[in-house]
Structure 1
Amino acid sequence: MGLKLLFICTGNTCRSPMAEGLAREMLGDVVQVSSAGMEAWEGEYASPHALEVLAERNIDLSKHRARRIREELMVEADWIIPMTHAQEEGLKRQFPQHVHKFRCLGDWGKQKRDVRDPWGGSLEVYRQTAQEIGELLRVLKEQIP
Structure 2
Amino acid sequence: MNILFICTGNTCRSPMAEAILKNKKLDDIKVRSAGIFASNGSNAAENALKVLQENNIHHQHTSKMLTQEDIIWADYIFTMTEGHKELIVDQHPFIADKTFTLKEFVYNSKIDTDVSDPYGGNVDVYRETYKELEELIKEMLKKI
TM range (shorter): over 0.9
Q: Name the SS of the counterpart of 2:77 in structure 1.
A: strand
Q: Superposition pairs for residues 77-88 of structure 1, below 5 Å? A: 77-88=74-85
Quote the residue 1:119 is aligned against. 119
Match of 2:66 among 59, 65, 69: 69
Tell me how far 1:26 sits from its aligned partner. 2.8
Structure 2: gaps spanning 5 or more residues: none
2:65 and 2:33 map into 1 onto residues whose CA distance is 9
1:88 and 1:98 map into 2 onto residues whose CA distance is 10
Per mean C-alpha deviation after superposition, the further-off stretch among 128-137 and 98-107 is 98-107
Q: When the two structures are superposed, what TM-score results if normalisation uses the length of structure 2?
A: 0.94
Structure 1: gaps spanning 5 or more residues: none
Instruction: Name segments (4+ residues, structure 1) moved above 6 Å.
Output: none
Quote the residue 2:87 is aligned against. 90
Per mean C-alpha deviation after superposition, the further-off stretch among 103-112 and 43-52 is 103-112
Per mean C-alpha deviation after superposition, the further-off stretch among 95-104 and 106-115 is 106-115
How many residue pairs get matched? 141
2:93 and 2:8 map into 1 onto residues whose CA distance is 19
Q: When the two structures are superposed, what TM-score results if normalisation uses the length of structure 1?
A: 0.93
Are the counterparts in 2 of residues 27 and 141 from structure 1 also a CA contact under 8 Å?
A: no
Aligned CA-pair RMSD: 1.1
Match of 2:53 among 42, 52, 55: 55
The one-character-per-residue Cα deviations of 1:77-109 (angstroms, maximum 9, x if unpaired) are 101110011110011111112111101100123
1:23 and 1:90 map into 2 onto residues whose CA distance is 24
